[in-house]
Structure 1
């Protein structure tokens, strides 16, 4: 397993990555990617210690420790269907609260 260290202070929080994911993959596939990320969290994660992440450029999935976000003072509400969308090239990320 590869370990990726992300310094979130060097990245910008925004609200445009979810619409871009829909534009890049189509609505149904984008929803499926988010659903798979949530399933990954349910199968392998821990609610208060990990969060699923989607790499928007590739649609790849991973789990990251919540401490990476908490150390940058981001508000994490530990919702069941919370997903982080991340774009390395744009140095940006979005926290998505997916509805059931």
Structure 2
């Protein structure tokens, strides 16, 4: 995997949603909302963006008579998230050793 910046994960809580879902088979809407700490409309908006990018699968159904929504990362979504996280990690080494160049 090559570290690569992915602008999809740089807007709103999309990175948090991806990070949460990378360790789950499926997560229900309420769990994602509560873990990310955002409102329903914010989660809906960013979930739609992730879905449009092909990174998120959305399943709708019901538990009893109550409608439910579940999310999971797609294969390409997992790959894109891993690549983006690797890119973020690689940034920490960019300035390594440059402190010695600062004046006293």
TM-score by length of 1: 0.28
| Alignment TM-score, normalising by the size of structure 2 | 0.28
Instruction: Point out the structure with the larger strand share.
Output: 1
Structure with the larger RCO, 1 or 2 (CA within 8 Å, 6+ apart):
2
- Structure of higher CA gyration radius: 2
More helix by share: 2
